[in-house]
Amino acid sequence: MSGFEGITAVVTGAARGIGRALATRLAAAGAAVVAVDIRGSDVERMAARLSAGGARALGVRCDVSSRAEVADLGRAVAAWSPGGVQLLCNNAGVFTPRHAVTATHEDWEWVLGVCLWGTIHGIEEFLPGMVASGRPGHVLNTASMNGYIPNRNSALYSAAKYAVVGLSETLRLELASTRVGVTVLAPSAVHTDIGTCEDVRPARFARTREDPPDDPFADHGLAAARQPGEVAALALEGVLAGREVIFTDPVVGPLLDERHARVRAAVPTSPPGISPR
């Protein structure tokens, strides 16, 4: 993809934070933008604001954890953009500071439902058309540094984000002979509203037990949190450059080295013998 002028982009989680910054920058760069969020009135207002500024924009309320709602989204986008979608930003995500032992089943379903299934639903709905069109296209999946490095209070989130990374790396291989690229956005701390995501927790994932959260956001010794606009700018540069992954904090380097060294040390130098019973 050589630029955003004239393309149609779908951005999930566009009401706040990184998604809002992605949608705003894409509109400013000449893309027609479908701003998708469970906060429906926020994305409708946002689309109205972008349209008033001269962009083409549509706001759609959609819970990305619901396959049926993403199918409805697909129909709305097809009607609005007969030329299809060229950039799919699977960005909606939620976080809850729970250890695996204190999480409820609904915590797991919510975090994996939005972060992982939301990404899968976007791919199911839009990717076949993107590939079939033969036009240049791109999938930008927002994971996290927690998709590469474990963190003490993020079992649920890391389960989802590691899966998004595995899915994206594989997708990149599968699509190598097509005109559709794949990039993972793997931010470290960003100043956003993710701490308020319990406000948009669908009722079907409501906690069945009330107990205090575990640790607050764990600390990797990160540099200062980035602004969403900076992260969106890095992400869109990365899309145009066809990067595999975009990190936002140098601290990830040594943490990745440490993780890979630990895993690498477990690889046997010759096929391990298995003692016969």
Catalytic residues: 157
Instruction: Give the distance from CA 200 to its chain's centroid.
Output: 17
Does residue number 59 form part of the binding site for ligand NAD (CB under 6 A)?
no
Strand order in the sheet with 32-37: 57-61, 32-37, 8-12, 87-90, 137-142, 180-186, 245-247
Q: What is the C-alpha to C-alpha distance for residues 68 and 48, in angstroms, rounded to an integer?
A: 25
Q: Tell me the β-bridge partners of 8.
A: 32
Does residue number 139 form part of the binding site for ligand NAD (CB under 6 A)?
no
Backbone angles phi, psi at 35, to 5 degrees: -95, 115
Q: Which stretch binds ligand NAD (CB under 6 A): 10-18, 174-182, 238-246, 262-270?
A: 10-18
Residues 177-216 that bind ligand NAD (CB under 6 A): 187, 189-190, 192-194, 197, 200
Q: Which stretch binds ligand NAD (CB under 6 A): 22-30, 31-39, 77-85, 132-140?
A: 31-39
Of 209, 228, 183, 19, whose CA–CA distance to 114 is shortest?
A: 19
Report whether 119 contacts 167 (CB < 8 A): yes
Q: Which stretch binds ligand NAD (CB under 6 A): 33-41, 171-179, 207-215, 266-274?
A: 33-41
| In the complex, minimum distance from the CB of residue 50 to ligand NAD, in angstroms, rounded to a whole number | 15
Does residue number 63 form part of the binding site for ligand NAD (CB under 6 A)?
yes
Q: What is the C-alpha to C-alpha distance for residues 123 and 254, in angstroms, rounded to an integer?
A: 32
Does residue number 12 form part of the binding site for ligand NAD (CB under 6 A)?
yes
Contact residues: ligand NAD, CB under 6 A: 12-13, 15-19, 37-39, 62-65, 91-94, 114-115, 142, 144, 187, 189-190, 192-194, 197, 200, 228
